[in-house]
Amino acid sequence: MMSETMTMEAAGIATCRLFVGGEWVDAAAERFGEVHNPSTGEVIARAPLCDAEDVDRVVQAAAKAFPEWADTPAVERARVMLRYIELLEKHCDELARILSREHGKTHAEAMASIRRGIEMVEFAAGVPSMLMGECIENIARNVDCETQRHPLGVCVGITPFNFPAMVPMWMYPIAIVCGNTFVLKPSEKVPLSAMRQAELLAEAGLPAGVFSIVHGGRECVDALLAHELVEAISFVGSTAIAKHIYATGTANGKRVQAAGGAKNHIFIMPDADIEQSVSALMGSAFGCAGERCMAGAIALPVGDAGDAVVKTLVDASRKMTVGRTDVEGSVDMGPLITREHLEHVRGCVERGVADGAELALDGRTATVADAPNGFFLGPTVFDRVTPTMTLATDEIFGPVLSVMRIDTLEEGIELTHRSPYGNGAVIYTRSGRAAREFKRRVSAGMVGINVGVPAPMAWFPFTGWCKSFFGDLHIQGREGVHFYTHQKMTMSRWFTPRDGKTDSWGI
């Protein structure tokens, strides 16, 4: 991988390259961002911060490849994905280790995210059945009407640091099987696993130019949003950037789907199994070090469930192991992505204490003996959080769980309606009536009933609400297919000869 996808600098730090027209090439950019190993704090690579010149080179190559790829039969496009699935299965462990090193996920988390990505590729391999149009014969006298779905052209994916393999696979497999070419702009913090995906796609037989990679930050993103040959933008990240992507992209005539941040609510009813509920709550809040938009951020024990929930939660969370993910061994939680983000989350903890919340478990005391410079923070639990505290309103994106005690289910549902976000909401209960009421009335696009992280599987859309999503057609599922295609309607009428004579076929 290193010989093609990277160049080596004198200091021994590898520089990421662009994937353009089926080849790895150096960027023209002269500014670079650092890629860290979060477990140690060491710089392991650098990514070019590309400008409009590099973006134009990549988009032009994708546009050049589009006509031939669009004319390739859909079943042949799907067969590339079938071969790609085989390669992903073969290299799953390798990809997971790249993820753990560049991002800090535990090996189990990395493997799970790749498996969810493979699920998306499996879905994409079946997309040809969703490209079928509709037809009504004789909708008017001698008039037939039909619809067909056509690819858009050059599509762009701008993806976050928290799922470097899975989130891109939410996008490009569907886009490519629909007949588009695709430019991926991975997070400059975690470009390595995306680059390995490009290699495997090429090995699977994807033609040159159909899939490309460009690196960079805001200047690169803005150049993609403005480029006249880009037809559609898919984005996952923070709400502030999602809003910018949507406003700028649509102003430039692009089709845009932009998934933003969240503040997800986890209800625990008095009739719930406390130990099972808390175990799932911990997985939701502290899995992936809390760096995911579907993380459980606010626990809402209802009625007299509060004391039991907090005691069980704190006792179990205190036993979680925090440590390096770039070496052999098993830990429950790895580091945060960068030192800057670690300090941001620490600041959120300090603000929570200043606001008067009860710090039941302080993750700031976590240390890792063999990695003193790693970006570690242990599980952190606040109790007796109130709705106006920043712990209840702001997305933290770290292993910080706020417990907000409430008296009734109704009270909790009302809190979700006051939240600016609307990604996920979960209830733990044995009551079918409570679950039904919750499902109908809670303000969130993805609902879990005794399911801690209700992120949909590939066949269903990722349906964020409110400021968690900007756009009309969501990522994944049939909506994803519709996003990456536009529909053409054709009406046909064949006239009967005026003289009544038949044509050469005797009709």
**DSSP sequence for 303-340:** GGGHHHHHHHHHHHHHT--B--SSSSS--SB---S-HH
Please, are residues 14 and 2 in contact by the beta-carbon 8 Å criterion?
A: yes
Q: What is the largest CA-CA distance in the chain?
A: 95
Please, are residues 493 and 143 in contact by the beta-carbon 8 Å criterion?
A: yes
φ/ψ of residue 95, rounded to 5: -60, -40
> Active-site residue among 178, 293, 348, 466?
293
288 is catalytic: no
Please, are residues 133 and 486 in contact by the beta-carbon 8 Å criterion?
A: no
| Helices and strands (H, E) in the chain, number of each type | 16, 24
8-state DSSP, 462: B
Say which residue the tokens 């429950």 belong to.
332
Q: Round to whole Å and give the CA distance between 489 and 181.
A: 23
Question: How many CA atoms, within 13 angstroms, populate the side-chain half-sphere of residue 120?
Answer: 26
Please, are residues 308 and 276 in contact by the beta-carbon 8 Å criterion?
A: no
Tell me the one-letter amino acid at 344.
H
**DSSP sequence for 179-201:** T-EEEEE--TTS-HHHHHHHHHH
> Which residues are catalytically annotated?
293
